[in-house]
A and B are shown apart, each in its own frame.
Chain A
Amino acid sequence: MRIEVDRDRCSGAGQCALTAPELFDQSDDDGTVVVLDEQPLPALREKARRAAALCPNSVIRLV
């Protein structure tokens, strides 16, 4: 699994950073998503899926 994000469409709601803080943070400049780990270990994949499903702008893609 690899995490891809489209920061242009991110509105910084923070759902990802709340749900999977191991994988996502928010930029200090504009609050948009920062991926901390693009290739999550198996133990974190479920969290990555949950973060993607909660994103209000469908910014996170898991490929």
Chain B
Amino acid sequence: MRQYVIRRLVLFVPTLLGASLLVFVLMRLVPGDIAEILVYQTGSESSTIQKKQIQQIRAELGLDRPVAVQYLAWMAAAARGDFGQSYTQRRPVRDILIERFPRSLELAGLTLALAVIWAIPLGVVSAVRQNGWLDYAARVLSLSGLSLPLFVTGALILYGLVRLFRWIPPLEFVAFTEDPAENLKQLIWPALCQAYYISAPITRLTRSQMLEVIRDDYVRTARAKGLGEGAVVYRHALKNALLPVVTFIGWWGGRLLGGVVIMEIIFVVPGMGTALVQAVSQRDYPTVQAMIFVMALVFLLVNLVVDLLYAWLDPRIRYA
């Protein structure tokens, strides 16, 4: 077990570095940097003055240094929790993160909870009654969940809310700590939308895992010794079938922080996603890098925890 933990931890660091490097280089490839945008906005008279201004701003922001040097400097600062100054918002990126992160986290958590609550029972029922009408209904339901892209369900729900309840997403975000009811009213719709979407693969995986497990010998043994169907399904089959499902949920859970971006846009939730989309269009490198870095970090951390949990639950993994 200890060896497995060490191996898994050793893999964590290069992956995180690789992901951050990727984003860093990618943002440097974006045509038109912040200096150009700032200068052309103010609109000075001659182009030689503009060019000088651009060079001056680049020098101030350190953009004239080689990318490798920039990356190392960024990494060194980031390790201390300093993500630099936002180019467009004139405040530290860390403050933006502290403001936005909890909102996206809450939305992601709510989404995942809603999805798991109904996806797993549906998957179990679907497997136990394979090829019955319930199975078909569940499969069509989950496939339709997969087929309705997030922005379609989001748009339809928004339309329904506007039409039926005259409800439009509030422009001001209310934190859960300030007013829980108001906060949930704002987040429940995007969470339900996305939960419907991600519950589909969870249902399908639960179904296929259950189908596999339910044919195993020990399940036959459990039946043969006269256990009730409920005990066979829930105590024997489900426990083993759920292992890969847990990994998958963990994978999705880590993914969701960045995955709720479309919901944030439709339902006007000022979270990380909306900030990120805006920062990309404004070439606000420090904000983009920090946001994506945090998203990748959370994703990798969640995966690490799930993997270790999995290895602890299933001894076959750690000795493989």
Do these two chains really belong together in a complex? Answer: no
Interface residues of A (CB under 8 A from B): none
